[in-house]
Amino acid sequence: MTSPAAMLKASIWRGREAGQYQSFEVPARENQTVLDVVTYIQRHLDAALAYRFACRVGVCGSCAMTVNGRPRWTCRTHVSRVASGGKLTIAPLRNLPVIRDLVTDMTPFFDKWHAARGRFVPGDGPRDEMAEVRPDAPERAAASAAIECIGCGVCHAACDVVSWREDYLGPAALNRAWAAWNDVRDGDRTGILRAVSQSSGCHNCHTHQSCAEHCPVGLNPTFSIAGLKRATLKATLKGELSP
């Protein structure tokens, strides 16, 4: 059992893009998450600390931060797994504008989901019959493998290509586009391929696999992007993406 006197040293980013780390000492507990540490600081040491969370159980995707240099979901990250020598360095997610302290502006992140056409587009009119989607159909399996994204932005922060090119759609938006493209009920699947074929689209991925390495729910956006590359190449060769 952890000694009651044991303390953690936490360095927390304060400010916006320009700012500095501020050190806090937080009591170490058993089964303590990084989000617990941040919450303790906000409730007991500095009420002005800005951070974001909602569900605390790894569903909402709102509490992602950079913990000791790696993007993580803080509500499901145990301190014992990541604190080196009882020290934590917590910063906002990379590749997104900082609003204040640990809070990033997610607007550019979700704008890219729209740019990648990651939403369902219905067909022209009402269908006489329900679309048949067999559970073992290849498209259904591909969509299922990509669909559980919680929109936390961890992959976006982990991606080096996003850090090099601000306009790159990024792994989350492209993963969403891949799930949407595999929905055979979609009324404009070619529109998805056209959206991800823009100069900031899927072909910029270097297959570093940082997104897959860091995704807290174990998705593999690199695989989804590879699928989009194959689909767009086939469509290009068939002339389907011509303006």
Partner 1 sequence: MTPLSYLLQRGTAMLMAPLVITHLIVIIMAVQGGLSAAEILSRTQGSLMWGAFYGLFVLAAAIHAGIGVQTILREWTPLGRVAAMSIGHTFTLILWGLGARAIYAVVWA
Interface contacts to partner 1, rule CB under 8 A? 161, 164-165, 197-199, 201, 203-204, 229, 232-233, 235-237, 241
Nearer to partner 1, 34 or 161 (CB): 161
Minimum separation from the CB atom of position 2 to partner 1 (A): 45
Nearer to partner 1, 90 or 231 (CB): 231
Nearer to partner 1, 28 or 196 (CB): 196
Q: What is the 3-state secondary structure (H, E, C) of the chain?
A: CCCCCCEEEEEEEEECCCEEEEEEEEECCCCCEHHHHHHHHHHHHCCCCCCCCCCCCCCCCCCEEEECCEEEEHHHCEHHHHCECCEEEEECCCCCCEEECCEECCHHHHHHHHHCCCCCCCCCCCCCCCCCCCCCCHHHHHHHHHCCCCCCCHHHHHCHHHHHCCCCCHHHHHHHHHHHHCCCCCCCHHHHHHHHCCCCCHHHCCCCCHHHHHCCCCCCHHHHHHHHHHHHHHHHHCCCCCC
Minimum separation from the CB atom of position 5 to partner 1 (A): 50
Minimum separation from the CB atom of position 164 to partner 1 (A): 4
Nearer to partner 1, 120 or 164 (CB): 164
Minimum separation from the CB atom of position 111 to partner 1 (A): 19
Hey, how many other C-beta atoms are within 10 angstroms of the C-beta on 175? 30
Could you tell me how many residues make up the chain?
243
CA 45 to mean position of chain CA atoms: 30
Minimum separation from the CB atom of position 233 to partner 1 (A): 6
Nearer to partner 1, 33 or 204 (CB): 204
Minimum separation from the CB atom of position 238 to partner 1 (A): 11
Nearer to partner 1, 161 or 215 (CB): 161
